[in-house]
Amino acid sequence: MDLKSKIILISGPTASGKSSFAIKVAKKVDGEIINADSMQVYKELKILSARPDPKRYQKIKHHLYGFHNVKKNFSTGDWLKLVIKKIKEVQKRKKTPILVGGTGLYFKALTDGLVKIPNISFKLRNQIRDLQKKLGQKKFYEKLLKLDPSSIGKINPTDTQRSIRAYEVKKFTKKSLTEWVKNTKPNFMEDDFFKVYIDFPRHELIERINVRTREMIENGAIKEVKDFIKLRVRKDKIANKAIGVNEIKEYLKKQKNLNDTRDKIAIKTRQYAKRQSTWARGNMISWIKLKPQNLNNFLKKI
């Protein structure tokens, strides 16, 4: 298959080997790799975000990794502006852009366009999140359908994040999220993309996550968090949500021992991987799903 004229998208749950697979694809199609992971943009979170090591780039150019300061938030809209520009630059050099990451919203913004919804107050957003926690996802979803019947069939009943988003949009703007989406136009055509999702069996992924968590601790994650603390990043900044930051902070305060800290990071990472898989099932229906044992066969066909 000829993929050199395409924008290649590679996604999958955390620890599924996206970065190394992307390098192999890039060698085949003369490509350059562009980051599509919301935590790998932060220069101060190299280890905890599992940012690719420049030593392993294998002469493949990588873009939009480790360039943003943790003291400043970085939105999907910020990423989309930069990535559109970067895709065009790569194409101008007659290279193939390969976007790699696990942030579903980034890919959705690129393929479907970014919905320009007015800013919703933090007060309302927090109220709705509290409501969802109080009711549980099942009852909250039922409440969403009463508020916004157009969500039926459009939002997966188990998709907590999207359910909350649909609820707050309808509550604040009086217009359904589906109406806002309908009036949104993407920057590229659907045929411009070739989309691959690495679909790892859960039991294998759990072991990979456990191994990577141990390696993060061994490779300096604790020092990384010590340095992060010194920066005095405000609590409302997105970088604080990186898995491992709060867990290691607890360890440094002697609230947890190292084994408990490592286990807690691994558990939170597994939970995150599960949310990524749920997102993929509801939002990446048209993507080619590849099992890990089929990756080499795929590469041979390129």
Q: Where are the domains of the chain?
A: 7-115+185-200+281-301, 122-182, 203-276
Which of 29-43, 86-100, 156-170, 208-222 is the least confident region? Answer: 156-170
pLDDT at 31 over 90: yes
Question: Backbone dihedral region of 59: left (phi > 0), alpha (psi from -120 to 50 degrees) or beta?
Answer: left
Q: What is the pLDDT of residue 64?
A: 98
Q: What is the pLDDT of residue 182?
A: 82
Cα angle 47-32-111, degrees, rounded to a multiple of 5:
90
Q: What is the pLDDT of residue 154?
A: 87
Q: What is the pLDDT of residue 87?
A: 98
Average pLDDT over residues 246-262: 95
Q: What is the DSSP letter of 241?
A: G
Average pLDDT over residues 158-170: 93
Average pLDDT over residues 62-79: 96
Helix (H) or strand (E) holding 194: strand 193-198
Q: What is the pLDDT of residue 119?
A: 85
pLDDT at 251 over 90: yes
Helix (H) or strand (E) holding 62: strand 62-63
| H helices present in the chain, as ranges | 18-29, 76-92, 104-112, 122-135, 137-147, 160-173, 177-182, 202-218, 221-230, 245-252, 258-283, 295-301
> Over the chain, what is the mean pLDDT?
95
Nearest of 104, 99, 106, 52 to residue 74 by alpha carbon? 106
Average pLDDT over residues 173-202: 92
Confirm if 13 and 197 have CB atoms less than 8 A apart: no
Q: What is the pLDDT of residue 118?
A: 84
Task: Enter the CATH code of domain 122-182.
Answer: 1.10.20.140
Confirm if 16 and 197 have CB atoms less than 8 A apart: no
Q: What is the pLDDT of residue 62?
A: 98
Residue 158 tokens read as 């188990």
203-276: in CATH 2.60.40.10: no
d(CA 147, CA 218): 49
Which of 4-18, 24-38, 85-99, 117-131 is the least confident region? Answer: 117-131
Nearest of 213, 224, 225 to residue 268 by alpha carbon? 213
Question: Which one of 3.90.1150.10, 1.10.150.530, 3.40.50.300, 3.20.190.10 gives the CATH number of domain 7-115+185-200+281-301?
Answer: 3.40.50.300
